[in-house]
Structure 1
């Protein structure tokens, strides 16, 4: 194995995956959300950079080809676990997260079972779009939680009557509650839409991989 820059970036992305969860163990919110978002975005950017550099510099390797999808899956699944764990467990969030996690585990199991035939399950363009949709959705959902906690922090300094008056428009919004609430709602809606799109792409690509593997799952005649 050669420690090329693309391979180093891939390894760093793999190490960053558990780092997203660790942020919530050592920092209070919303700082934990900020650090997790920055770490996740940095890892998502390296996902594009390491592939681009490997192709441009002709440094593609078996190690990188093996580790790249593992790093992507680890980053997505751990980030989804964190988001779901700190959410209200809304079915609109839990269901697509469950579909995504199930598919990633299922396809990984297929690849392991097929062994040398796993080359039939090469990453397709649609699968790349799936990964992109997942990462954008997760980043937006992290942003939603950031807006939410800044909103709660500012609201905590107000009495209930003042808070209700500002939110209803009866009082002047001198502390910026309304725009934070609007950003939270917009990010929440956009994040869920993107996550459902990612879940649909996840299931479609998962079925495509299973269909390709069916001939190798049949019992010998």
Structure 2
């Protein structure tokens, strides 16, 4: 169970409380340090997948733990930026992103039980959403617009990318829902037939 990729994934889970505590420290560079830890976690997400394929160490435990780790740290980051900025311009897309994650997780679990998990596997749009979301969160968590007199506009870019991620999340949710629709319709028809028999 404890292969190298799984250890990297477990390390990402352990980074979550560190990330949260550091971000809220009463320290000048706390937000920047928290953003760096989040970035490190995002890098390990790519790294553990690469190692699993390279070392041929794909496991059922890793397939379970990896998306759980991703969703936990992203949910924490979304909650933290809504707390930090306290504006509907951040809160609304953050809620949309969290609702999408819950919906897609439930849909994939249901499809997996029906042997159709391959039909709702991660798409290009889903990967683009994840990339935009991660970059947006790094920028918004850091709070950096200027560093040593150099304009960075990371927060501004974070706002833009957060909305791009929200749009892509809705788009990907529609794609996954359409892929699962035949299964959902068949399940509804089966339920109706069972109800008629009763």
TM-score interval w.r.t. the shorter chain? 0.7 to 0.9
Structure 2: gaps of 5 or more residues:
194-198
Paired position in structure 1 for 2:136: 137
Kept after mapping to 2: 8 A contact 1:131/1:198? yes
**SS in structure 1 of the partner of residue 43 of structure 2:** helix
> TM-score of the superposition, structure 2-length normalised?
0.83
Distance between the aligned counterparts of 2:53 and 2:112, measured in 1? 25
Kept after mapping to 2: 8 A contact 1:53/1:59? yes
Aligned residue pairs: how many? 186
Structure 1: gaps of 5 or more residues:
151-175
> TM-score of the superposition, structure 1-length normalised?
0.75
Q: Report matched runs for 1:98-117 at 5 Å.
A: 98-117=95-114
Q: Report matched runs for 1:120-131 at 5 Å.
A: 120-131=119-130
Kept after mapping to 2: 8 A contact 1:17/1:79? no
- The match for 2:89 among 92, 101, 126 is 92
Kept after mapping to 2: 8 A contact 1:20/1:36? yes
Residue 31 (structure 1) aligned with residue 10 (structure 2) = no
Change (3 A) 1:188 1:147: closer
Paired position in structure 1 for 2:171: 204
Deviates more, 1:188-197 or 1:13-22: 13-22
Kept after mapping to 2: 8 A contact 1:141/1:187? yes
Q: CA deviation at 1:126?
A: 2.1
Kept after mapping to 2: 8 A contact 1:18/1:78? no
**SS in structure 1 of the partner of residue 171 of structure 2:** helix
Distance between the aligned counterparts of 1:18 and 1:208, measured in 2? 34
Distance between the aligned counterparts of 1:139 and 1:61, measured in 2? 30
Paired position in structure 1 for 2:19: 20
Kept after mapping to 1: 8 A contact 2:144/2:155? no
Distance between the aligned counterparts of 2:60 and 2:113, measured in 1? 13
**SS in structure 2 of the partner of residue 28 of structure 1:** coil
**SS in structure 1 of the partner of residue 63 of structure 2:** helix
Q: Deviations over 1:107-134 (max 9, x none)?
A: 1222333442351321223212211111
Paired position in structure 2 for 1:160: none
RMSD after superposition: 2.2
Q: Deviations over 1:138-184 (max 9, x none)?
A: 111122x2558x9xxxxxxxxxxxxxxxxxxxxxxxxx7xx37x44x
Distance between the aligned counterparts of 2:170 and 2:32, measured in 1? 30
| Structure number with higher relative contact order (C-alpha < 8 Å, ≥ 6 residues apart) | 1
Distance between the aligned counterparts of 1:72 and 1:198, measured in 2? 15
